[in-house]
Amino acid sequence: MFEKSQSALARYKSRRLGLVGRELSWFGKLWYFPHWRWIRLSTLAVGLAIAYFALQPRPLEPVNLTYAIDLTNAARGSLTITLIAEGNLPEHLDLEFAPGVFRDERNGVSANEPSGRVLAPDGTVGRPLAVAEITDGWRLATQSVTRAGFIYRIDLDRVQGSEEDIRRHISTPVAGGLRAAGFEIFLEPTGMAVQEITVSMHNPDQMPVLVPWPALVKGTDLAAERRRQQNRATTDASLGLGQGYRPAAGLTPPPPQPNPLGGAASVPSNLLFHPRDLADLNNSLIICGNIRTLETRARDTVIQFATDRSWLFADEAAMELIQRIARTEMGFFGEPPTDQITVLLSANEVTAEKGFDVYGVHTGSSVLVMLNPETTWGMLEEQASSVIAHEMFHSWVGEAIPQTDPTMLWFTEGVTTWYAARMLVSAGIWEPDHARGILGARLERDYAGNPLFGQMSVADAAAEVMADADQVRFGYAGGVNACMALDDLLARATGTLRPLDEVLRALYFGRDRGDLTRELLEETILEVTGVNCHAWFETHVYGKTALPPSEQLI
C-alpha cells in the first residue's frame, strides 16, 4: 500500500527525530510526550515560588545583650557604657533611648562619643563599625557580624531648681557620685526580640553602689551570705542589700578596701546581674557615691533604707518607719510584689514657686523621696511618710498591676493616695483623726475649692500628669474622692465593709489579665461585687458631674 504523503513539516521532523524507517528515539519520544507543556509550566511555578520565599526577609532571631557600666568617672557625673549585642545580627542595629530623652537638653542627660567595633568571641576588638545618627539614637552597621560592641558616654549635669518637672531631677550628680534612671542611660535595639540581658558594673574605686533591681543575681540565706562575706571577701558583696552578687565570669576582683562610710557595704570591682527584660532594664535606678544603707527583712523581702546626706533624724528611726509601712502594705495584699523594696531619701532641689515640698518617684522596686534638707523627724512622720507609703503602694498598683492608659491615672493615683493614708493608720504611724484631717483638707483645697471643679472631668485632669499645678492637684484629689465614693457605692449595694479592698486584691492576683484599663476595672468590680459601675464612671469620673467631697475618709 502506498504511504500517506507527508507535509514538508512532517518530513523535517522525521529527519530530525530519526523517524525514517524506525521507531522514535528516546529524544523523540520525550519531544512527543503529550503532557510536556504542563510539566514546563509546573517547573516554572515551582521555581518562582522558591525565588519568592528565598527573597523574603527572614525573621530576626533574638539577640543577647550585655551592658557593661564603667564607674571610673562617676564622681564627675559620667558613665561609660559598652553595649555588646550577640547573635544573628541584621544588616544594622537601631539603638534608641526611651522616647523623649535623647537630645532633650532640659533634663541634664546627654550621650556622647558613640563608636562601634566588631568583637571576637574571646573579646578581642576587631574592625570599626559604621555609626550613623538617627532621630532617637544611633544606627550601627552590623551586616555579617555576630558580635558587635557599641560604646557611648553618658554625662549628667545638675538641672536648675527652676525646672518644675520632677522627672528632670531623677538622673543627676550626687555627693561623690551620681543617680541614674535606667530609661535615661540604656540604649536598646528596636524592631527585634531580645533573649537574655546581662548588666555588669566595673567599680575600680570601690565606691558604695546601690542597685535596687527586681531581678538580681543574689545569694540565698542572708545570714549565711554575711558569713561568706567575712570568710571570702573576694567573691560576693551584699551592697547593703543583704543579697550576694557574683563577679563577672573570668574576672577576679581585688579584696574590698576599708569603707569610710560605715553604713554602706564594700563593693567588689565587678558585679553581674540580669534584668528580666528591656522594660525591667529601663525601670531601674542606679546610685553610687557617698551613700549609707540600713536593711531589715519582712518575710522573704529585703526592706532597705538608703540616703546620700545627713538629716535631722536618725537613720535607724527612718528605717523602722519604712519597715512598718512595708509590713502593713504587704499584709494588705498578702504577699510582696518583689523580693526587695528600697527607699532612698534625697534632697529636694526643686525651687520653682509652684513646686511641692516633698516629691516621690517610684522606679521598679525602688522609691525615691526628695525632701527639704531641713526636714525634722516630726515632719517626716506626719508629712513625708504619706509620700513613702504612696510610692511603696505603687509597687502593687502601678507596677505589679501595670497601668499604661493615662485615662486610668485617676484610679491608680487616687486609690494609692487614699490607701497610703489608711496604711499609715493601720501601721500606727498616723492617728485616725490626723489622717482624716490630712485627707479632708486636701479634698477641700485641691478638689472642691479648685477652679476646675465641675469644669473638667477628673479623668481628663489626672491624665496630664505634668499639666499646671491646679490641674495636677484637681486630678489627684479628684481621684482620691472618686475612689472613696466608689467604695461607698459598692458598700451600700453589697452590704459589705470596704468592698474596694477585695477589688484591689482581685486585680493584683489577676494581673496576668493585662494592663489596667477601664474595661478591666469595670469587669473586676462586677465579678467581685456584682455591681455594674459603667454609668457611674461615665457620669462622675469621665464626665463633668462633680461628686461632693466624701465624708467616709478613714
Q: Which residue would you say has higher pLDDT here, 540 or 363?
A: 540
Mean pLDDT for all residues in the chain: 81
Q: Are 396 and 329 in contact (CB under 8 A)?
A: yes
- Strand runs labelled E in 321-477: 340-347, 359-363, 366-371, 397-398, 401-402
Place of cell 467604695: 487
Q: Are 405 and 516 in contact (CB under 8 A)?
A: yes
Looking at residue 347, its pLDDT comes to 93
SS (HEC) of 126-173: EEEECEEEECCEEEEECCCCCEEEEEEEEEECCCCCCCCCHHHHCCEE
The pLDDT > 70 percentage for the chain reads 77
Residues 6+ apart with CB under 8 A from 44: none
Q: Are 263 and 315 in contact (CB under 8 A)?
A: yes
Task: Express each pLDDT in 377-421 by its tens digit.
Answer: 999 999 999 999 999 999 999 989 998 899 999 999 999 999 999
Q: Cell digits for 388?
A: 513613702
Amino acid at 345: L
The single-letter DSSP state of residue 550 is P
Helix crossing, 409-426 with 315-333: angle to 10°? 110
Q: Are 131 and 227 in contact (CB under 8 A)?
A: no
Question: The sheet that has 359-363: what strands, in order across it?
Answer: 292-298, 301-307, 340-347, 366-371, 359-363
Looking at residue 427, its pLDDT comes to 97
> Is 419 in a helix, a strand, or coil?
helix
Task: Express each pLDDT in 309-341 by its tens digit.
Answer: 999 999 999 999 999 999 999 999 999 988 888
Q: Are 267 and 229 in contact (CB under 8 A)?
A: no
> 497: how many CB neighbours lie within 10 A of its CB?
8
Confidence check: pLDDT of 85 > 80? yes
Q: Determine the Cα–Cα distance for residues 157 and 78; give it in Å rounded to an integer.
A: 9
Q: Cell digits for 352?
A: 520653682
Task: Express each pLDDT in 246-264 by its tens digit.
Answer: 223 333 333 333 333 334 4
Q: Are 221 and 229 in contact (CB under 8 A)?
A: no
Task: Express each pLDDT in 111-152 by its tens digit.
Answer: 899 999 999 887 788 999 999 998 889 999 999 999 999 999
> Is 444 in a helix, a strand, or coil?
helix
Q: Determine the Cα–Cα distance for residues 399 and 413; give it in Å rounded to an integer.
A: 12
Q: Determine the Cα–Cα distance for residues 415 and 445; give it in Å rounded to an integer.
A: 19
Q: Determine the Cα–Cα distance for residues 26 and 35; give it in Å rounded to an integer.
A: 16
Place of cell 525634722: 376
Q: Cell digits for 223?
A: 545570714
Mean pLDDT of 23-32: 48
Q: Which residue would you say has higher pLDDT here, 52 or 79?
A: 79
Q: Which pTM was predicted?
A: 0.78
The pLDDT > 90 percentage for the chain reads 54
Confidence of residue 372 (pLDDT cuts 50, 70, 90): very high
Q: Are 499 and 477 in contact (CB under 8 A)?
A: no
> What are the C-alpha distances in Å from 543 to residues 190, 254, 411, 460, 477?
38, 63, 15, 9, 16
Q: Cell digits for 390?
A: 504612696
Q: Determine the Cα–Cα distance for residues 453 and 481; give it in Å rounded to an integer.
A: 12
Phi, psi (degrees; rounded to nearest 5) at 118: -75, 140
Task: Express each pLDDT in 159-174 by its tens digit.
Answer: 888 887 787 888 999 9
Confidence check: pLDDT of 236 > 90? no
Q: Determine the Cα–Cα distance for residues 206 and 72; give it in Å rounded to an integer.
A: 10
Q: Cell digits for 189?
A: 535595639
> 79: how many CB neighbours lie within 10 A of its CB?
23
> Is 296 in a helix, a strand, or coil?
strand
Q: Determine the Cα–Cα distance for residues 149 and 4; give it in Å rounded to an integer.
A: 83
Residues 6+ apart with CB under 8 A from 430: 382, 385, 421, 424, 438
Confidence check: pLDDT of 226 > 60? no
Looking at residue 40, its pLDDT comes to 60
Task: Express each pLDDT in 415-436 by its tens digit.
Answer: 999 999 999 999 999 999 999 9
